[in-house]
Structure 1
């Protein structure tokens, strides 16, 4: 065997041996519990911001729907008024055509009679002229108002259509992100959601607080143990702003179903002024909770969890608000 063949044979044997003896690729390590917890917290925070953006869109659509209904209710009478004004102007045009406006004026002025009669005729002509001008002005104003209302309605309906498209896209994203979050929770805890709490009349545990704030606090206590449901405002599940809006709705006060919009609707107060029923807002206005006293809040934490009572320093606080 030639030396070249011997060398090639030796190299081949060495390569095969190295391949057989080389350790396999290391198995991908499973994420640690701490890593899973970190991912869950990060995903939960991000998802809550998306949900609150979705809630804001729903609130804006409700506002635009109401605005469109108001515009529609005004357009009908305006159309009728415009048609009446159009008929008046049309009648003036027909009369002017039949009688000849300038000739009729000259004839009235040249008609025999004294100065008093002439003044009377001039006054009558002036009155007729004002009446004609008023009818024409009414028609012009009615038409302008009608065009303005129809334009505003078109803009409102266009905005609604755009928001509806955004809402659909946001819902798809939430459902996708929610599936990923639930999978992380299954890896970490063996199930996607917390076990349903044993239902008791939690409202009985609420502190004795008078007035509307007391009603809101008792409602929140009654929601403890119910699941987080994105976009939910009760009675079977809630997201954070859904819980605070439902609690205050029970007390006869309307709050928008969105943390940022609630921040804009309440009176801002200091930490030292907090009393049960006030709202606690968190960094980025992506989360809101109901203060129930003794440094505690009740909130709907995040997807997969249940409504609970806990210390209010659960994350950096943006500010505090009192429902007016």
Structure 2
């Protein structure tokens, strides 16, 4: 190989090496604070969707367990009734044979002859049929309830498997978040927001004077400001979005499911112009919910790594507005 060819080959290899090294060097560059924030927000939004799906499944499992318990409570007495009915029929047959004159020869010797025997046989047969109909009715009801309970158990097993899948997905996302939070800690000195100390007296002064149950819910939400986002949390030490609205209205004596989409199905839908403190505002495809406190502001549990805060209601696209009934 000539010296010229060797030189060209060396330059080509050197250029290729530079091309390979340059992207790798750029890829290893530390992300900017803005890039870190965007990545954390994307992962937090993804985690919130998983958490809300987990919350919805938990609510459905809770409802199905209650339905299964109600069915079991009905099955027990029904079984006892059917068993008693069978015992009554057996006793009726035994008693009739022993004391009712069913032996044909003995019955024919009694006044009335065969006609009386037929009457007595007809009466006993009628009573027996009535008892048997009762048994069949009880058995059919029992079978129906057992079938329904079997169906519910199948649903519960499937939902339990889904809950495990969601929990595993949440853990994967949290592992990703943990890596991002470490980068954020290196950039800002702290992975998550510091809890905000708010004495009760300050909370009472900050909360607007609102009467009734809505006022109770709003004051509760003010008291949660500064507490951390906790997935599936409904207080008192941490909350996710639907857990905060649930807890606020639970303090006011109203019950809401622990899921934004299910809360949307439980409230009365209203227009933006009808908003008043205590109402709920739903966001981005029913993946987030906040408590309206008036003057265009809400209190919500925003996302993982952040704390409950008060902010403007238009922080993300709004799906709709609801009033707790």
Aligned match of 2:141: 145
Aligned match of 1:275: 276
User: Contact 2:102/2:121 (CA < 8 Å) preserved in 1?
Assistant: no
Bigger shift: 166-175 or 123-132? 123-132
How much does 1:152 deviate? 1.5
Aligned match of 2:170: 174
User: Contact 1:217/1:277 (CA < 8 Å) preserved in 2?
Assistant: yes
How much does 1:215 deviate? 0.6
Distance 2:158 2:53 in 1: 15
How much does 1:245 deviate? 0.3
Q: Unaligned regions of 5+ residues in structure 1, if any?
A: 1-6
Distance 1:20 1:287 in 2: 53
Distance 1:48 1:181 in 2: 12
Q: Are residue 66 (structure 1) and residue 66 (structure 2) matched?
A: yes
Distance 1:124 1:293 in 2: 82
Distance 1:222 1:175 in 2: 29
User: Contact 1:182/1:193 (CA < 8 Å) preserved in 2?
Assistant: no
Q: Are residue 209 (structure 1) and residue 205 (structure 2) matched?
A: no
How much does 1:13 deviate? 5.8
CA RMSD of aligned residues (A): 3.0
How much does 1:9 deviate? 5.8
Larger radius of gyration: 1
Aligned match of 1:284: 285
Matches within 5 A, 1:10-25: 11-12=5-6, 15-16=9-10, 19=13, 23=18, 25=21
Q: Deviations over 1:202-225 (max 9, x none)?
A: 243111111111111000000000
Aligned match of 1:295: 296
Matches within 5 A, 1:102-113: 111=112
Aligned match of 2:53: 53
Paired residues, what number? 312
Aligned to 2:299, what secondary structure does the other structure show? Answer: strand
Bigger shift: 77-86 or 129-138? 129-138
TM-score, structure 1 as length reference: 0.85
Aligned match of 2:43: 43
Q: Deviations over 1:82-134 (max 9, x none)?
A: 11112123335556778897969x969x9269xxxx7x998876654442222
TM-score, structure 2 as length reference: 0.85
How much does 1:272 deviate? 0.9
User: Contact 2:102/2:117 (CA < 8 Å) preserved in 1?
Assistant: no
Distance 1:103 1:85 in 2: 28
Q: Are residue 85 (structure 1) and residue 85 (structure 2) matched?
A: yes
